Amino acid sequence: MSRVAIAAIAVALLSTAAVPLAAKEKPPVFRETAAVKDKPGALALDPAKAYILLRSTDQTGLYLFKVPTAEDQATYDRLRADAFNEARQKFAKKLAGYEAGLKASRDNPRLSKPEKPVEPTNANFAFTPFALLTGVAIGPTNRFAKAGFSTYLQEVTPGTYRIYGPISVLPNGAMSGACYCMGSVRFDARPGEITDLGIVPAPKPQVRPDGDSSWPGAWDGQAPFADASTAMPLDPRLSAARTVRAAFRPVGKMPNLFGLQVSRLPEMAGVMRYDRDRIVDLTGK
């Protein structure tokens, strides 16, 4: 498929994102999420929802993906299989049209030869990755509290979440930041409780060396997710809620789904380290 065709599809996606392109049934919801707003008074948690808490000296953004459960994966696989079958059926029709057009062009040299359709196969069939259906963008706006430091509280569907990177999604959908494509961590967010990620380090100012137009910068190198209890005390509105420190586990590599700068989470003592680019599990589990 040509780049022009891909561009056309992308533009179509951007303009018709509210319309299912493949599934005829109502699409499944793998996760729901919303920022908890900054309102006075104690917070009443929904016992069916999980809450993710993070704190930072500055406004910051953090992007997560929900890790599929076995049920999620089965649903996703079925969706893909249905879409693949539909694509095969469409291909059969297109192929018939192509063959008819080809015969017509042979019979009448003034007719142009049609372009042969691409046959969908399991190898070339592209389906939206599961991760792109389960993103959770926290910050940089919609802070739960902003006195002295920034507190973010995000309501999510309970489950396991992977930290994809310090990525900010602006209200217009624009994204900036870097993906932790080459190493990161996951954690569980359980219903009825707040999972505290700790402190998300604010990005350091980037000083590009003179003459180096493609300096990668220093996206990592700062200790991630340090305990926030002393430096950035819990907001009093959350004091009655059950808050637990996130238990991090390492996760492997992922594609650069948003086409951003590539990076990785800095090493975390007792959780993970790197041997060159290979990720070593230090949790002992």
Residues 45-74, interacting with other proteins (CB under 8 A): none
Binding mask 155-194 for other proteins (x = CB under 8 A): ------------------xxxx----xx------------
Nearest distance in Å: CB 269, other proteins: 10
Contact with other proteins (CB under 8 A) among 36, 220, 237, 265: 220
Choose between 149 and 274: whose C-beta lies nearer to other proteins: 274
Rounded CA Rg of the chain: 23
Nearest distance in Å: CB 151, other proteins: 25
Nearest distance in Å: CB 50, other proteins: 21
C-alpha distances (whole Å) from 228 to each of 104, 206, 237 are 73, 25, 16
**Phi first, then psi: what are they for 155, rounded to 5°?**
-85, 130
Contact with other proteins (CB under 8 A) among 53, 79, 163, 238: 79
Choose between 245 and 273: whose C-beta lies nearer to other proteins: 273
9 binding other proteins? (CB under 8 A) = yes
31 binding other proteins? (CB under 8 A) = no
Residue in the block written with tokens 């959908």: 173
B/e letters for 1-23, b = 16+ CB within 10 Å, e = fewer, are eeeeeeeeeeeeeeeeeeeeeee
Residues in the interface with other proteins (CB under 8 A) total 82
Q: Which residues pair with 138 in a beta bridge?
A: 62
Strands 261-262 and 278-281: unpaired
* Residue ranges in 94-153 that form contacts with other proteins under rule CB under 8 A: 118-120, 124-128, 132-133, 135
Residues in the chain: 285
- Answer whether 30's CB lies under 8 Å from 130's CB: yes
